[in-house]
Amino acid sequence: MSALKITSKNFENEVLKSEKPVLLDFWASWCGPCKMVAPIIDEIAKEAEGIAKVGKINIDEEEELAQAFHIMSIPTLVVVKDGKVVDSSVGVKPKKAILSLISE
């Protein structure tokens, strides 16, 4: 499964009501570091199937969600469990570090 495109329309169902932890990748098409982390996020989306959900939020298209999460820099990764933010990370990280966010 690839990463889900998260929008304000599907946010409640896909993220807040998810029974699994959700890793959110806040990104933009013009962001170089976002392009570096994108293949890692896609790998994790495939590997974490059944354990966690992975979603991508384009901050240019979903400004309200970016503001709601107080996104100041991208890429920003946020983990939501039971509708609450439980962890976050800013900047490019190795796959192992990203996996540790959702496995804790």
Single-letter amino acid code for the residue at 14 = E
34 catalytic? Reply is yes
Q: How many CA atoms lie within 13 A of 38 on its CB side?
A: 13
31 catalytic? Reply is yes
Active-site entry in 6, 34, 40, 48: 34
Active-site entry in 31, 38, 90, 92: 31
The length of the chain, given as a count of residues: 104
Q: Nearest Cα to 93, choosing from 84, 85, 101, 81?
A: 101
Sheet of strand 84-90, all strands in order from the earlier edge strand to the far edge: 4-5, 53-58, 22-27, 76-81, 84-90
Q: Which residues are catalytic?
A: 31, 34
